């Protein structure tokens, strides 16, 4: 499928899903603005890559990064440590509030935001054991991801909330399930590279507007033989 190249702002571009999204978008011929506190940590060079230093909590920096972009990929994360396990977490909701206000001012509508399985109403389909384990380690983080999702849902953007399951460092397979209906939601595995593939495809195709899909490989962690997409 041939698509018109877009300029994509990636928030949290130096690690994990963010870095994989930068790589995938560049490989697809898009222009990427990589936004991070230390963008030089992104050891990539490409004619289509622009590195921008900034704090996602700084409205001025975020507004500047949005100039001339077609879409935003929100891939920010926090470390799992004593502070995020035991303390108050508000990073996701605060950065999202800053981003949404800046997007409204800039007239940028397309947003694909990564949260995770267990955020929002996807928590309702977890088993009791899953909730206990998930809550013990990631409870504070996912409480804030739920607040983040609520802000996004209430916004006047063309948003998609992507909810990957347990992340791995495997390479891209191009074969994963995009589970749109709550009855299909379940836990499992997916690589960061395949989450990045989904993000870029959703932006390219402008698909699953106001969707909240769970992303995973097939049953028992096996990759699905056929990609399910919008």
| Predicted local confidence at residue 132, as pLDDT | 61
How far CA 222 is from CA of 16, 88, 125, 218, in Å, comes to 21, 36, 21, 5
* 209-227: pLDDT as tens digits: 999 999 999 864 444 443 4
- Two tokens at 184? 């299909």
pLDDT for 225: 42
CA 67/CA 47 separation, integer angstroms: 18
Can you read off the two tokens belonging to residue 221? 């962690």
State the average pLDDT over residues 56-69.
Answer: 98
For residue range 142-183, list pLDDT tens digits in order: 899 999 999 999 999 999 999 999 999 999 998 899 999 998
CA distance 166 to 123: 14
Cα–Cα dist 192/171, whole Å: 8
Neighbouring CB atoms inside 10 A of 154's CB total 10
**pLDDT for 133 beyond 80:** no
166 backbone dihedrals φ, ψ, rounded to 5° = -65, 130
Lowest-pLDDT range of 15-24, 75-84, 123-132, 180-189: 123-132
Q: CA 217 to CA 64: how far, in whole Å?
A: 37
pTM for the model stands at 0.90
């Amino acid at each position: 499928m041939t698509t018109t190249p877009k300029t994509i702002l990636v928030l949290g571009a130096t690690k994990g899903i963010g870095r994989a999204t930068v790589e995938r978008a560049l490989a697809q011929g898009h222009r990427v603005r990589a936004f991070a506190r230390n963008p030089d940590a992104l050891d990539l060079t490409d004619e289509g890559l622009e590195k921008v230093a900034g704090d996602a909590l700084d409205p001025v920096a975020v507004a500047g990064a949005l100039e001339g972009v077609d879409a935003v990929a929100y891939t920010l994360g926090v470390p799992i440590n004593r502070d995020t396990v035991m303390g108050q977490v508000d990073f996701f909701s605060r950065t999202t509030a800053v981003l949404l206000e800046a997007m409204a001012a800039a007239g940028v509508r397309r947003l694909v935001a990564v949260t995770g399985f267990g955020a929002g109403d996807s928590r309702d389909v977890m088993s009791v054991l899953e909730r206990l384990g998930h809550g013990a380690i990631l409870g504070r983080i996912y409480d804030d991801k739920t607040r983040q999702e609520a802000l996004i849902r209430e916004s006047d953007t063309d948003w998609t909330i992507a909810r990957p399951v347990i992340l791995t460092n495997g390479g891209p397979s191009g074969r994963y399930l995009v589970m749109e209906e709550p009855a299909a939601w379940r836990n499992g595995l997916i690589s960061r590279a395949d989450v990045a593939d989904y993000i870029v495809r959703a932006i390219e195709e402008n698909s699953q507007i106001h969707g909240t899909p769970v992303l995973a490989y097939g049953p028992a962690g096996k990759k699905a033989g056929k990609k399910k997409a919008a």
